[in-house]
Amino acid sequence: MAGSELTILTYNIYNHHEGENAFAHRQQLVMETISSVAADVVCLQEAPSTAFLRALVDYLSRRQERHLRLACAEMRRTDGWREHIAVIHTGTARAATVHLSPTGESIGISVAVASGQGVRIASVHLNPHDAELRRAQAARLAGELGGEGATVVAGDFNATPGGRTLAAFEDSMRYLAPADGVTSTFPTAMRADSGGAPGGVLDHILGHGVGIDDWGVAGDAPVSGRWPSDHLGVWARIRLDA
């Protein structure tokens, strides 16, 4: 994480195993989409396995000609859902995994955190089904990661701006991206496989003690008729000297 600027990408890559949109059919496209951003830090949700994450780290390291590191946490919800949440980062940052639940199940949340060069970065995925639980997760997360020091929290919050879930961060963090002009980050045209979940801007980057210079989205068009994910990726270029 060299210098006073960092580009951070958050991306829910859709851990789906069946049919035409199974992850195996999209894996290379997902990797290429992530690589196209050339982010210093990649925050992922719904990664299918640590094997994929290690392969992605190797792929990005070769493409970007720099050494990358991995911090990841496995989430196992009580409804049987499993996924890996990850932070891929550069430099000599110290990596740690924080579980905000004794069991790692849906009563809490698993968070992957990388820290170094004066900033702490967390990748999160809040509960998609239970609004009350989601707000409780957000409040606990804000309490754990708020406070002193430069911090960025990025991920799939399953909540839109202006709602009660993101309000939990109002006292401790600034909203960084995406800004006005993006009306939805979920679902893409892959919606048929997304369980009929409501759409909107669900993927966010929040921060404390940092500024923002630019932002954008990734994976916002199909390649040869195939979408990388049912979410868009969101990236932000932040300043660490804010």
Q: What pLDDT, in 10s, does the model give residues 155-194?
A: 999 999 999 999 999 999 999 999 888 999 998 887 555 5
Q: At residue 223, what is the residue type?
A: V
Residues 205 and 216: beta-carbon distance below 8 Å: no
What fold, for 5-239? Deoxyribonuclease I; Chain A (3.60.10)
Which letter does DSSP use for residue 10 in this model?
A: E
Q: What would the pLDDT profile of 56-70 be if each residue is shown by its tens digit?
A: 999 999 999 999 999
What whole-number distance in Å separates Cα of residue 177 and Cα of residue 215?
Answer: 6
Q: What's the mean pLDDT in 85-96?
A: 85
Among the ranges given (3-7, 163-167, 174-178, 215-219), the one the predictor scored with the smallest mean pLDDT: 3-7
What whole-number distance in Å separates Cα of residue 240 and Cα of residue 3?
Answer: 8
DSSP secondary structure, 157-215, as one string: -S--TTSHHHHTTTTT-EEEES-TT---SB--TTGGGTTT---B--EEEEEES-EEEEE
More confident residue, 91 or 60: 60
Close Cβ partners of 142 (under 8 Å, ≥ 6 residues apart)? 168, 169, 171, 172, 173
Among the ranges given (10-14, 130-134, 230-234), the one the predictor scored with the smallest mean pLDDT: 130-134
Residues 240 and 119: beta-carbon distance below 8 Å: yes
* pLDDT at residue 3 tops 60: no
What whole-number distance in Å separates Cα of residue 97 and Cα of residue 173?
Answer: 21
pLDDT > 90: percent of the chain: 64
What whole-number distance in Å separates Cα of residue 88 and Cα of residue 60?
Answer: 9
More confident residue, 48 or 191: 48
pLDDT > 70: percent of the chain: 91
Residues 231 and 14: beta-carbon distance below 8 Å: yes
Q: What would the pLDDT profile of 119-137 be if each residue is shown by its tens digit?
A: 999 999 998 888 998 999 9
What whole-number distance in Å separates Cα of residue 22 and Cα of residue 112?
Answer: 25
Token reading at 22: 């199974």
Residues 211 and 226: beta-carbon distance below 8 Å: no
Distance in angstroms between the alpha carbons of the first and the last residue of the chain: 16
